[in-house]
Chain A
Amino acid sequence: MNAMLRLTVANLRSFLRDRAAIFWTVAFPLIFVVIFGLIFSGEPAPASYGWADLDESAASGELKAAFDGLDGVSLVEGTETELLDKMRDGDVNAVIVVPAGYGDSVAAKGAPASLVVYTDPSQSQADGRTRQLVGYVLGVVNQAVTGQPPAVVPQFQAIQTNDFNYLSYLIPSILGMSLMQGGVFAAVPLVADREKLILKRLGATPLRRWQLVGSNVIVRLLIALVQTVIIVGVGTALFGLETTGRWLGVGFLVVLGSLTFISLGYVIASFAPSEESANGITQVVQLPMLFLSGIFFPIATMGDFLQSIARLLPLTYLGDALRQVMVDGVPFAPLYVCVLVLVAWLVGCFVVAARFFRWQ
């Protein structure tokens, strides 16, 4: 046990004296959090909507007042054609057209009155926000007209708190990304140690292989925990991330996720002949995973083909599980499925690495 402890200390010292390693495991995720935090936190940008009233009734006036009363929304009046031109130029985010006869329809309470809203789906954030705002306003208006409380409270009422927190989607994602990178990049120093015959030299001592592997894994887990504290800490302190406080669950996922990706790193190290090739293979493994596992955009927004790939990747499930446990994110898969998939990857990689890993 003393040998393994000493080796762990030696590995930690080697890590702490390697500036490049520190940058990639600590500074890089930190920069990620800060940049994304600055981009996505804070008040949403003010929206401006074109307002073309073809009805000019009391009802349409009330509707306009309801939109005018929203925080961060300004209305620009004009004709439909003028306003659509403005929207194409980017001067307004959307155009709302009140058709003639709107007031009469509302008063008749027969067939529902309609409202035409032009939005731009290519501006997904603005588009989503417009849809939510319009839905919210119409909900309020409907309630006022019918005089009945809503049967179902619409989800978009959350908009009143201005809590547009993409950041709470992102922080668990960045954590998952860091754990993935920290794990698979464990392959690189391992292959370097093999190339420099350090593993062979250790093989000539009484040190057991499980002690060698164990010590490397412990060091990686310690790094993963430090990463977790930094990423969550900065997210909370600087950008007001609100977590559930289920730290035991988060800790479990951090350890499980790290082990899964460390064993994937050992698989890479099993087949990479040199340090350079280990580096290359690691990039080839991690880059597609970054983009396809829904850690930066929800999997639901991907096409069927990409979704079916995403369903196979361990990072999909680690990110999803972290979001569920850390910030009550909307599940992509049930938590137990996430854990099972991660365990399956862990066991699979372990078996492959145990079979193919070379010590010299």
Chain B
Amino acid sequence: MSGMTGTTSLGADAVIRVEGLRKVYGDLVAVDGISFQVEKGEVFGLLGPNGAGKTTTVEVLEGLRKPDGGSVSVLGIDVDRHADQLKPRIGVSLQNAALYPKLTVIELLELFASFYPKSRTPDELIELMDLGEKRKSRTQELSGGQRQRLSVALALVGDPELVFLDEPTTGMDPAARRALWDVIVRLRDEGRSVLLTTHYLEEAEILCDRIAIIDHGKILELGTVTELVDRRFRERAVRFDAIEGLGDERLAAMPGVASFAREDGEIVLYSRDVPATIGAVLAASEELNAEPDNLAVRRATLEDVFLALTGRTLRD
């Protein structure tokens, strides 16, 4: 793998510094020596499939898990030793964490507000996360998306400098997802830093200033979306629906093709010479008595990067 973390500029303003972090559960190495930094005012994304080690990494940073190796500093605090000093300054939305089922939205916000030295008012957060109608509903009556919004509201109640959002848009409908994206952009505009994990490429592409692609406990690539795409793909992507009888050897031998991938019944050729490649595709399909359906040319995207790195797509 090329272009590891070394290309990241070592800013003096880093809110998160991770060096060689390791976390092991029995035989399973969940996090295998990763290093990265998050700058102040940045939205940083950890992108990877389920089980990649994203949540474990985030929970070490939040002070919820002890690392087995490496060092972790958040807001200048050694998390392993002084998690107590960190907690008033961060906001956390855990994946799948339930809330007191019998309490109402407003009661829960008031409760959490009382934990923090300074807090935003519950009403302001209800407004921000569009929970006005559910203000007096018990949390057990909320839908998955509403619960997720409440979880983000609770992450913001302590007026945090740094916000951790673990899969924040899971279970949200598209409108709620976009609304949350606006909230995250506002957090950045207010000078707060955000570390979010996601398996939605679109979300990472739109929101994140920088992204670390993580799988099997290791960071595979790290940088801005443009950096990641350019680093890996100078080529254009030529895609079409898979044709029966068109084998891998033939694809690799086509003119201009640097590499190719197959996914979900389609073929993607990464080409340095698009006209020549398309010509070869057309010739091959005519030979096989088939049509290259949905033939298209596009620039490579984060999805191509992800596919090339992990061999899988992230669609759910």
Contact = CB atoms under 8 A, between A and B. Distances in A.
Interface stretch (B70-78, B94-102, B236-244, B306-314): B94-102
A3 B96 CA distance: 24
B88 interface: yes
Interface in A201-246: 201, 203-208
B114 interface: yes
17 contacts: A3-B115, A10-B100, A13-B107, A14-B100, A14-B102, A17-B138, A196-B97, A196-B98, A198-B98, A201-B94, A201-B97, A204-B63, A204-B64, A205-B115, A205-B158, A206-B115, A206-B116
Interface string A285-314: 000000000000000000000000000000
Nearest to B114: A6
B98 A7 contact: no
A18 interface: yes
Contacts of A6: 110-111, 114
B87 A205 contact: yes
Contacts of B114: 2-3, 5-7
Contacts of A88: none
Contacts of A14: 100-103
**Interface SS of A by simple majority:** helix
Given A13-B107, A360-B64, A197 B112 contact: no
Contacts of A196: 97-98, 101
B102 A200 contact: no
Given A196-B98, A201-B94, A204-B62, A10 B111 contact: yes
B103 A204 contact: no
Q: Is the interface of B mostly helix, strand, loop or mixed?
A: loop
Nearest to A202: B115
B100 A204 contact: no
A201 B101 CA distance: 14
Contacts of B84: 206, 208
Q: Which 8 residue pairs across A and B have the least CB separation, nearest first?
A: A196-B98, A197-B97, A204-B92, A6-B114, A17-B102, A14-B102, A201-B97, A205-B115
Contacts of A204: 62-64, 87, 90, 92, 94
